[in-house]
């Protein structure tokens, strides 16, 4: 027979007229199909097909599927018996082609259905890991559906990254494709459907699970994909909400009163001593249970940590509502490149004396990832207890306002701030004014919706400075957090508590963009200088009355004086004064000069008589 549909659990297939020569100028097609849970093993008993380079004349072609568009497994010609051929799915497509010239005996083969033991799909609960399509880096099978479910612990983020990707391309990915859903079920919200050869963008789960499904049809395939996932603990106690989320679903000018608990990462810096005791003077944001991010200029008046404290969970400064948590300050870290004159690098980190208790009214804020984009006109939020109008009184309740991100060139316009705006700053506000942060809001957060998870807020700026409040063309200026992520991450992940003292810490050097390895510890301080040498005696001791017979050497004087020669020189006519000493101590202290010796002729003592012979 020249071609046939074959089914069952086993069988044989031969070329027409076998073992006689197969016909010229023919195309014969056999399709073998077995159960969906099985694959096919094809074993050749003999092969004799006209040989040509790349089998361009006569050939026996085997495809991994049921159609002529299925992926190619093997193409044979010549007389070498092939090794076992195995399908990846439930079908094999076999085609014998001959031209008008020479032929051969053809082929004889047997086939059998076997269980499909190829792993396809899995459930993962590890915090990090990877997987790939069946057969990778070879072609993935036709007619398959593979499902993977990734679930990480609560209070963890989940990020999926495609490292390699090669699938059949089609309009709207209607043939082979991989789809990703935000949850652990096939009915979860669809994030995206992908095919072709372009790497998909990173995928961020809104919760703690992702569902990934690979589907292929009966025709063309590709190498498939390699994918990895990572998770990160977002801080807080197990079971509480993720960073950047609130359970309530600047000095704010043009703003409105915030709902209690709407911005659970908002921190208030309050004076603990002095005439302003109990007054809020700056804001901040809880970026870790033990760390508050604020502005460096908040410490211009004083950096004495005993003069202030941090309050979280606050809404109305005039009321005790029961959600507040107060913290002493363990240490203050000013950014090492903070410039008071230009207000560049206006950033500081405060380590609390203990971790915050994360609740519905207290939570951390996520920091913007480097790859997140917030183009001009992106609507973001500011919050604080600052004055609600220029030169006005501060607000006792937390205020909030919506502000758009402003193009950097517009903010650097001569009518705005000109060259004062650096790459380390973000501008936000309305061109006509009317909405802004103001005195008392300094250090507070500028937050925007996460571009890949709209349920989550991320902090992109720290309230820094501006001319007046809510004036036209005088936008609010914020420290750009993206520029400081290495510094923030270094401190919050490596610095411990118990620094002690009231002073601001020794600045930590700014990490360069290439992020070289961080030293395990800061260099030790230099040892103290040695004490100065003791004073020298006021005068030399008197010489001995007479020399012993053997004329021994005199004992040396103290190390600070030159040694006395072993034989006294002849007496000079006049004894010159001793030279002034200008020796230096090891620590750099000058030894006081010796006082002058008395002048005049001094006779040496008489020598003893020679010994008797």
Please list the helix, strand and coil fractions of the chain in percent, rounded to the nearest 5, in that order.
5, 35, 60
**202 contacts 160 by C-beta, under 8 angstroms:** yes
With tokens 């004894």, the residue in question is 575
- Taking alpha carbons only, the member of 433, 428, 383, 381 closest to residue 405 is 428
Answer yes or no: 297 catalytic: yes
Provide DSSP, 92-125.
EEEEEE--SS----EEEEEEEEEE------EEE-
Return the CA Rg of the chain: 42
Q: CA 173, CA 132: separation in Å to the nearest integer?
A: 19
Strands 209-215 and 177-182, by their bridges, are antiparallel
Answer yes or no: 442 catalytic: yes
Those residues with Cβ within 8 angstroms of residue 177's Cβ, 6 or more apart along the chain or in another chain: 167, 170, 193, 194, 195, 214, 215
Q: CA 379, CA 384: separation in Å to the nearest integer?
A: 17
- Point out the catalytic residue in the list 156, 297, 331, 335: 297
Those residues with Cβ within 8 angstroms of residue 252's Cβ, 6 or more apart along the chain or in another chain: 382, 383, 384, 386, 388, 395, 399, 400, 401, 435, 436, 437, 438, 441
β-bridge mates for residue 228, sequence order:
130, 161
Give the largest CA-CA distance in the chain.
146
- Point out the catalytic residue in the list 176, 182, 344, 346: 346
Can you tell me whether residue 598 is helix, strand or coil?
coil
**7 contacts 35 by C-beta, under 8 angstroms:** no
Can you tell me whether residue 296 is helix, strand or coil?
helix
DSSP letter (8 states) at residue 592: P
- Point out the catalytic residue in the list 157, 231, 442, 464: 442
Answer yes or no: 315 catalytic: no
**459 contacts 287 by C-beta, under 8 angstroms:** yes
Q: CA 389, CA 573: separation in Å to the nearest integer?
A: 95
With tokens 């936008």, the residue in question is 475
Q: CA 282, CA 317: separation in Å to the nearest integer?
A: 13
**111 contacts 43 by C-beta, under 8 angstroms:** yes
**292 contacts 299 by C-beta, under 8 angstroms:** no
List, by residue number, the catalytic residues. Answer: 297, 346, 442
């Amino acid at each position: 027979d020249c071609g046939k549909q074959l089914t069952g659990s086993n069988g044989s297939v031969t070329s027409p007229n076998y073992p006689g020569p197969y016909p010229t100028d023919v195309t014969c097609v056999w399709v073998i199909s077995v159960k969906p849970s099985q694959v096919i093993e094809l074993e050749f008993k003999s092969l004799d097909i006209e040989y040509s380079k790349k089998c361009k004349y006569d050939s026996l072609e085997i495809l991994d599927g049921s159609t002529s568009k299925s992926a190619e497994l093997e193409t044979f010609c010549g007389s070498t018996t092939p090794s076992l051929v195995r399908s990846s799915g439930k079908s094999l497509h076999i085609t014998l082609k001959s031209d008008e010239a020479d032929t051969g005996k053809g082929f004889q083969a047997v086939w059998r259905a076997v269980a499909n033991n190829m792993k396809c799909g899995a459930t993962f609960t590890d915090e990090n890991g990877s997987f790939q399509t069946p057969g990778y880096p070879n072609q993935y099978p036709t007619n398959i559906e593979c499902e993977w479910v990734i679930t990480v612990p609560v209070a963890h983020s989940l990020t999926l990254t495609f490292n390699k990707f090669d699938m059949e391309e089609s309009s709207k990915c209607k043939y082979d494709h991989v789809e990703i859903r935000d949850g652990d079920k096939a009915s979860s919200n669809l994030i995206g459907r992908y095919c072709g050869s372009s790497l998909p963008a990173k995928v961020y789960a809104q919760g703690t699970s992702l569902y990934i499904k690979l589907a292929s049809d009966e025709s063309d395939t590709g190498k498939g994909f390699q994918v990895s996932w990572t998770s990160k603990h977002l801080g807080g106690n197990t079971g509480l909400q993720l960073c950047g989320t609130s359970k309530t679903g600047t000095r704010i000018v043009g703003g409105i009163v915030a709902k209690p608990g709407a911005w659970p990462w908002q921190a208030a810096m309050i004076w603990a001593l002095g005439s302003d005791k109990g007054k809020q003077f700056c804001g901040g944001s809880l970026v870790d249970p033990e760390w508050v991010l604020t502005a460096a200029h908040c410490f211009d008046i004083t950096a004495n940590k005993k003069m202030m404290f941090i309050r979280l969970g606050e809404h109305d400064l005039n009321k005790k509502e029961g959600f507040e948590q107060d913290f002493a300050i363990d240490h203050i870290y000013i950014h090492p490149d903070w410039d008071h004159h230009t207000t560049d690098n206006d950033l500081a980190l405060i380590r609390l004396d203990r971790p915050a208790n994360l609740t519905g009214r207290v939570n951390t804020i996520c920091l913007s990832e480097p790859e997140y984009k917030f183009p001009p006109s992106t609507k973001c939020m500011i919050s604080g207890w600052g004055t609600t109008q220029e030169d006005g009184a501060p607000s006792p309740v937390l205020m909030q306002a919506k502000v758009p991100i402003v193009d950097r060139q517009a903010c650097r316009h001569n009518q705005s701030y000109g060259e004062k705006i650096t790459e380390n700053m973000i501008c936000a506000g309305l061109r006509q004014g009317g909405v802004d942060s103001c005195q008392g809001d300094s250090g507070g957060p500028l937050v925007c919706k996460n571009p890949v998870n709209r349920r989550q807020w991320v902090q992109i700026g720290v309230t820094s400075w501006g001319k007046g409040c809510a004036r036209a063309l005088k936008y609010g200026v914020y420290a750009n957090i993206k520029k400081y992520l290495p510094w923030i991450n270094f401190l919050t992940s490596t610095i411990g508590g118990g620094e002690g003292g009231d002073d601001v810490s020794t600045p930590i050097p700014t990490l360069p963009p290439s992020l070289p390895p961080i030293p395990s510890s800061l260099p030790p301080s230099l040892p103290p200088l040695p004490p100065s040498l003791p004073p020298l005696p006021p005068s030399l001791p008197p010489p001995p009355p007479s020399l012993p017979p053997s004329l021994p050497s005199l004992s040396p004087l103290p190390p600070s004086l030159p040694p006395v020669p072993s034989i006294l020189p002849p007496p000079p006519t006049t004894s010159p004064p001793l030279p002034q000493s200008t020796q230096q101590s090891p620590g750099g202290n000058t030894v006081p000069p010796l006082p002058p010796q008395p002048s005049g002729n001094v006779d040496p003592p008489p020598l003893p008589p020679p010994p008797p012979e």
